[in-house]
Amino acid sequence: MSRLHALSLFVSIVGMCVIPTQARQSHNSQARMSQVEQNKNVVRRFVEEVWNQRQVNLCDELVDTAIVGHYAGREIRGGLPRTKEIANYWCSALSGFTFHIEDIFGEGDKVVAHIPFEGTHVKNLLGIDSTGKKVKVDEVLICRLKGGKIAEVWEAFDEYGLRKQLTAPIPATKEQ
């Protein structure tokens, strides 16, 4: 076999190995991207449908039964029933409770969403009796997903700002 023929055969064999490897890497990248997009969609549905549309029973589809929450250094257990209870509590205390998805992005099994919320304070919230005040509060949510469901949540919202809005005197308005 001539060196040229051997070199040509070698290049052909290497080419057969490299091209499928690159195709596999591209496919894996697309699959990974697709999984991240699916995870973002689960979090988006959790915010829009469970919270904003008050479809709390959709938690069964979107949230892991053993979900664990983290807020202000505390671990909140109680799984799916506790998640539904929290959603009902906030939505009943703040009439018109609505999250606004400002940003959402993901990497691996985690999704981060910047979701400020607003509503009108109509029932006891965080130990503060109804004030009738409209509030706007900044929040960031980090979710870890497992098997297409939210399995763990880290929540950070401006509780100080919320309390300040609820306890500050209502500003006088000028009558026209």
CA 25 to chain centre: 28
Q: What pLDDT band is residue 105 in, cutting at 50, 70 and 90?
A: very high
Question: Is the pLDDT confidence value at 11 over 80?
Answer: no
Instruction: Set out the domains of the chain in order of their start, with CATH numbers.
Output: 3-167 (3.10.450.50)
Whether 141 and 154 have beta carbons less than 8 Å apart is answered as yes
Structure tokens at 96: 């018109």
Per residue in 129-176, pLDDT tens?
A: 999 999 999 999 999 999 999 999 999 999 999 999 999 766 666 654
Question: Is the pLDDT confidence value at 31 over 70?
Answer: no
Predicted local confidence at residue 72, as pLDDT: 85
pTM of the model: 0.77
Report the Cα–Cα distance between both ends of the chain, in Å, rounded.
99
In angstroms, the CA 56 to CA 51 distance is 7
Element (H, E) at 32: helix 3-45
Element (H, E) at 107: strand 103-107
Average pLDDT score over residue span 53-68? 97
Side chain identity, residue 73: G
Across all residues in the chain, what is the average pLDDT? Answer: 86
Predicted local confidence at residue 73, as pLDDT: 87
Whether 136 and 118 have beta carbons less than 8 Å apart is answered as yes
Determine the 3-state secondary structure of 73 from DSSP: coil
Under 8 Å CB-to-CB from 126, ≥6 apart: which residues? 159, 162, 163, 166
* Alpha carbons within 13 A on the beta-carbon side of 102: 9
Beta pairing class for 63-71 and 149-157:
parallel
Predicted local confidence at residue 2, as pLDDT: 56
Average pLDDT score over residue span 64-84? 94
In angstroms, the CA 79 to CA 156 distance is 19
